[in-house]
A and B are shown apart, each in its own frame.
Chain A
């Protein structure tokens, strides 16, 4: 009986259908659990779905490539979804105009802080250079971060994982930081979360309110642009300086 199930699995795993269906099932299961936990940030749907899928692929010995052949159809939608962020953003146009100056200052400080503090902490704790370079762009959305990591000499596929991890950490932790620092403005909350935790933070922010989500989307877009421009000349000197330390 068991060998037959194995054969069927091997056969189905070779077609894109299985990877795609499993992704949708895992995500909906994760979303259901998230709802049952009243959207508690620790029951993050991306985190739960990824854990379930990795466990399943691991147990069945299915390679990531095979899985991604199917999952790429979901992955592809990241492009049009990124473009679609212009629409909630537009809804906040008036507020954006009023806050343009403070938003830009906060963007510059937050963006630099996200990259430099990651490299410094990683270095102090003994991470390898390839890991440090892959860590630097982790606060920006996956496609931008992978491009930056490649340019810096990091590992793009490691960066994509660190980006997801960063997104989950921010989405889970933000509410505790805001409580500790008494940050109560929806626009401020959204902007900081989108800047540090890109699309996953933005998805979380949309659960809070439309306005929080729109400011998160704005911060994600702006930080993507700024990080792509900033890191190529910020990180190489930083790495040289760190390399000179004992």
Chain B
């Protein structure tokens, strides 16, 4: 488990370094994910240790968003003033994005089975 965590951090670090070096607008962890994906494809998959550690970490993925979510406290005033446009914009655009993506994908994958 220690080895697997070190590996994840190393790929994150590599991702951060790539983002800084090429001045990319993409965050380091996402580049780290792409790098690890490429490494897994080259190496024919993860070790059992890495697979188990990732599974344990991702099992509690929701937990990791809680601290940022509590940040809503800092924007109570703006939320009170603009709650209607914010709420409607978020709900409508999220539902629209899900519907458009799912319908298109379902249509295209059915045509090419």
Interface residues of A (CB under 8 A from B): 23-24, 26-27, 31, 44-46, 49-50, 53-54, 57-58, 64, 67-68, 71-72, 74-75, 77-90, 93, 99, 101-103, 105-107, 109-111, 113-115, 117-119, 121-122, 125-128, 131, 135, 138-139, 141-144, 147-148, 151, 157-158, 160-167, 169-170, 173-174, 177-178, 181, 183, 185, 187-189, 191-193, 195-197, 199-200, 202-204, 206, 213, 219, 221, 224-225, 228-229, 232
Contact = CB atoms under 8 A, between A and B. Distances in A.
Contacts of B66: 23, 26-27, 46, 49-50, 53, 71, 74
Given A64-B70, A102-B108, A196 B37 contact: no
Contacts of A141: 27, 30
Interface of B: 5, 8-9, 11-12, 15, 24-30, 32-34, 36-37, 40-41, 45-46, 50-51, 53-55, 57-75, 78, 82, 84-86, 88-106, 108-109, 112
A143 B50 CA distance: 24
A71 B70 contact: yes
Contact of A135 (B58, B70, B89, B112): B89
A136 to B, nearest CB: 10
Given A26-B66, A90-B37, A224 B27 contact: yes
A25 B88 CA distance: 32
A98 to B, nearest CB: 9
Contacts of A183: 102-103, 106
A157 B90 CA distance: 16
B100 to A, nearest CB: 5
Nearest to B64: A78
Contacts of B69: 46, 49-50, 161, 164
B73 to A, nearest CB: 5
A185 B62 CA distance: 24
Given A71-B66, A114-B94, A121-B85, A225 B30 contact: yes
Contacts of B40: 86-87, 90
A83 B62 contact: no
Contact of B82 (A128, A163, A170, A188): A128
A177 B51 CA distance: 32
Contact of A191 (B73, B75, B105): B105
Contacts of A83: 8, 11-12, 15, 29, 32-33, 36
Contacts of A90: 37, 40-41, 45-46
Nearest to B68: A160
Contacts of A72: 67
B95 to A, nearest CB: 6
A188 B70 contact: no
A183 B99 CA distance: 9
Contact of B94 (A50, A74, A166): A166
A177 B98 contact: yes
Which residue, B30, B33, B57, B105, has most C-beta atoms of chain A within 10 A? Answer: B105
